[in-house]
């Protein structure tokens, strides 16, 4: 148990904000959408009076935005350190390793990733925008990393970003299906997750290998 007496003011503030984040995640796990959760519900869950909420957030929209920026930002920063297609391993092995790392991140914080997957297209504009900005940042980093691979030297910067964006969007589309497998009865989960891991790795390989034959100088035809 954390000894709050020995914590600095900033550390105590961080712990309180985390309590608000966890309250939101707990309420969302009951089936509520973020936009349907009231400030009073959150403060009741945390065990503070409503006025205490305003010491940390202007309103519920800012709480949702901060949750995404703090938690998704940290999760993606950790992934960025390891999902380096061009730096640490051969390209072929790194695709499989990166998919594994993504699912490991989801497994480590299932409630949070379920929130992200559910609210990415949810009713809160602030939350949608925050998720979108984090995804763009991650796609930019992935694009820069792909540039280190000779296999993508012929792809323009713009097209390489589009390729990274496809990869990130594909990864986020897996979240709910992966979490559904997490809640299967004991005994059936490992083999089923292994099958999904294999399928998702193949999907990512097909996309990135297909980029070998892409020609950035070809004109896009739109009727």
Q: CA 16, CA 1: separation in Å to the nearest integer?
A: 15
The pLDDT of residue 1 is 47
**Can you give the pLDDT at residue 92?**
63
Domains of the chain: 59-213 (1.10.357.10)
Cβ count within 10 A of residue 38: 12
State the CB neighbour count (10 A cutoff) for residue 64.
26
CA distance 178 to 183: 9
pTM: 0.84
Where the chain has pLDDT below 50, the residues are 1, 89
pLDDT digits (tens, 9 = 90+) for 44-92: 999 999 999 999 999 999 999 999 998 888 887 777 776 655 555 455 6
């Amino acid at each position: 148990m954390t000894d709050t007496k020995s914590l600095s003011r900033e550390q105590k503030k961080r712990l309180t904000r985390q309590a608000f984040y966890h309250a939101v995640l707990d309420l969302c796990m009951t089936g509520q959408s973020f936009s349907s959760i009231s400030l009073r519900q959150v403060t009741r869950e945390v065990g503070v009076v409503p006025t205490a909420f305003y010491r940390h957030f202007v309103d519920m929209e800012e709480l949702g935005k901060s949750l995404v920026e703090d938690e998704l930002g940290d999760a993606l920063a950790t992934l960025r350190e390891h999902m380096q297609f061009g730096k640490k391993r051969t390209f072929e092995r790194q695709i499989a390793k990166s998919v594994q790392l993504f699912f490991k991140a989801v497994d480590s914080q299932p409630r949070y990733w379920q929130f992200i997957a559910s609210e990415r297209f949810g009713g809160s504009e602030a939350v949608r925008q925050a998720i979108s900005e984090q995804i763009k940042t991650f796609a930019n980093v992935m694009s820069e990393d792909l540039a280190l691979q000779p296999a993508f030297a012929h792809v323009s910067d713009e097209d390489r970003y589009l390729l990274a964006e496809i990869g990130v969007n594909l990864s986020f589309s897996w979240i709910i299906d992966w979490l559904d497998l997490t809640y299967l009865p004991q005994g059936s989960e490992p083999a089923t997750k292994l099958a999904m891991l294999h399928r998702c790795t193949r999907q990512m390989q097909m996309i990135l290998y297909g980029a070998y034959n892409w020609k950035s100088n070809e004109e896009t035809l739109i009727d």
